[in-house]
Amino acid sequence: MRDWSAEALAALEAGLLEQVAESNSSTALEAARVAILGRKGNLTAKLKGLSGLAPEQRKDAGRALNRLKQSVEAAIEARKGALADRELEKRLEAECIDVTLPPRKMNVGHLHPLPQAIEELVAIFGEMGFAWAEGPHVEDDFHNFSALNILPDHPARQEQDTFYLPPDAEGLQKVLRTHTSPVQIRTMLSQQPPIRIICPGRTFRSDHDATHSPMFHQVEALAIDEAIHMGHLKGTLVAFLRAYFGIDDLPVRFRPSYFPFTEPSAEVDVGCDRSGGRLTVGAGKDWLEILGSGMVHPRVLQNCGLDPERYQGFAFGMGIERIAMLKYGIPDLRPFFESDIRRMRHYGFLPLEVPSMVRGL
């Protein structure tokens, strides 16, 4: 542009200001800024044109052009602010939260009834002073059978439908433990009395129908000291069963029985009602067998290096699925081992239903 008259500069300024005013977004405004003030911008070109003027003309034209440049820059800044405000407003509008909408449904995880039952019984036995003990799932003959006084020709070996593993390099045939009782042996071999432990854990038997699964859970308890008698066994079990089922006057019956590892042995029944095809624990005139128990056999103590003249103890073992089914009214084993989320929602527990003897189960 060769014309340096005031009118020409005013027309140039008006044109540039219009270009700024017409930019309708930050991106468009930035493009306009580059087109005006960038290296190849038209105002930049005009400023470069100053060098071709005669010195006396250049001074006035330079001043006028600088003022024009400042005016355009100020307009760009102002427009930038306005556009940013507008864009923010638009975003806030788009992102606004409608607090009147109904909340989205939350999926809350549920605790499986087995760990729930384990937590409950651990809370009860924990407060009675029992510690948690564990043992391996693959056991040898000594811990699973012979130390428990179950000798090689004893029918219990067949009765328990044992899973045998192939013989190892030394020809020893290990088994999947058929009960949690081997943990008694491991504990007595590694700790000195007084001993009070429970061991919840997996057990395995080759048995599969509506009420049996080849893998199931038992909890074993063992107490060994110098003056333990059947009264302790009875008191502990009655207190446990009443706390677990939450029934203060739950009838509990001890019936003479036989286990190779206890002498005397007793099976324990709880009172129940079977009328109308439904089983209700704690009501009615029927009895339901729930666990096996007894005073630890002197030979078992000897097998673990304890002197039976000095030490006595009691032990008991029960199936966890069974006591969970009875307490929560679960009619069959399927919910325990099929990962069906619908069953879990129905039979599961909320994570915060943590049991305690003090606060109640």
Site of interaction with ligand DAH (CB under 6 A): 179, 181, 220, 259, 262, 292-294, 315-317
**Minimum CB distance to ligand DAH smaller for 37 or for 230:** 230
CB of residue 318 to ligand DAH, shortest distance in Å: 7
Residues 6+ apart with CB under 8 A from 36: 16, 19, 20, 42, 43, 44, 72, 76
CB of residue 141 to ligand DAH, shortest distance in Å: 15
CB of residue 187 to ligand DAH, shortest distance in Å: 12
Output b/e per residue, 34-61; b: 16+ Cβ within 10 A: eebbeeebbbeebbeeeeeeeeeebeeb
CB of residue 351 to ligand DAH, shortest distance in Å: 31
Helix (H, G, I), strand (E, B) or coil at 202: strand
User: Of 43, 35, 49, nearest to 12 (Cα)?
Assistant: 43
**Minimum CB distance to ligand DAH smaller for 76 or for 183:** 183
**Minimum CB distance to ligand DAH smaller for 77 or for 164:** 164
**Minimum CB distance to ligand DAH smaller for 43 or for 199:** 199
**Minimum CB distance to ligand DAH smaller for 73 or for 289:** 289
CA-CA distances (angstroms) from residue 349 to 111, 328, 344?
A: 5, 10, 8
**Minimum CB distance to ligand DAH smaller for 23 or for 180:** 180
**Minimum CB distance to ligand DAH smaller for 79 or for 217:** 217
Q: What is the DSSP string of 258-296?
A: EETTEEEEEEEEEEEE-GGG--EETSSSEEEEEEEEEEE
Please classify residue 330 by burial: count the beta carbons closer than 10 Å to its beta carbon, then call 0-12 exposed, 13-18 middle and 19+ buried.
middle
CB of residue 259 to ligand DAH, shortest distance in Å: 4
Please state, in angstroms and rounded to a whole number, the distance separating the CA atoms of residues 75 and 71: 6
CB of residue 233 to ligand DAH, shortest distance in Å: 9
Q: How far from chain centre, in Å, is Cα 233?
A: 34
CB of residue 276 to ligand DAH, shortest distance in Å: 30
Length of the chain: 361
